[in-house]
Amino acid sequence: MAEKSIGIPLLGDDFPSMEVQTTHGMMKLPDDANEGGKWWFILFSHPADFTPVCTTEFHAFAVRNEKFQELNTRLIGLSIDQVFAHIKWEEWIKENLKVEIPFPIIADHGMVAKKLGMVHPGKGSNTVRAVFVVDANGKIRLILYYPQEIGRNMDEILRAVKALQTADKNKVATPANWPNNELFGDHVIIPPAKDVKTAKERLENAGKDYECLDWWLCHKKL
């Protein structure tokens, strides 16, 4: 009988419960990461320790760790390597790149990668560059997959977390390239009207607390 494949989680799914070994000791996810609803966290995988692109990514994540912390978000790395390799790689980065890795790295034996769809057969047996943004309630809010040969843009990941938190807090959406949208700058999008009465009121009240190009496209400054 063929082995049952495990699909990639969907946006809005609960992050699957698991116990993992990390460079900071054993952790239970998502509970130890979000501390009962206090923190968001980002779990990101890399193909392997002591590889060029991955090293640049860990440096980039490390130097932005405080910015993630300011967004109440923790970082957790992962690859299918032993914890000893992770520790030695951290030491190399500190010695040669002059930055400490402040976040835990999961030493996966394949279980986590399989649960989260991080191993893509066409890309070999290593994990692809996956990113899972998980909110304080343990819900998966954003998923990114990059091939092994393309390094990630950490500023975009920061932007996405800030946009998600802004949308949640204010019940709005964010336009393309927010907060530097070519049309509306740092304004946010008001959810479209869902009935005739609200659509009419949108246009009648435009110019007070918000602006509209039409009843379904209204924006405002927070």
Give tens-digit pLDDT for 76-123.
Answer: 999 988 999 999 999 999 999 999 999 999 999 888 888 888 877 766
Catalytic positions are 54
Q: Give pLDDT tens digits for 116-150.
A: 888 777 666 677 899 999 999 999 999 999 988 89
Q: Which domain holds residue 203?
A: 171-222
Kindly report the CATH number assigned to the domain that includes residue 209. 3.30.1020.10
In a domain, 157, yes or no: no
CA distance 118 to 140: 15
Domain boundary among 107, 124, 152: 152
Domain match, 49 and 108 both: yes
Integer-rounded Cα Rg, in Å, for the chain is 20
Q: Is the dihedral of CA 78, 105, 9, 41 positive or negative?
A: negative
Domain match, 117 and 196 both: no
Please tell me the predicted confidence (pLDDT) of residue 7: 67
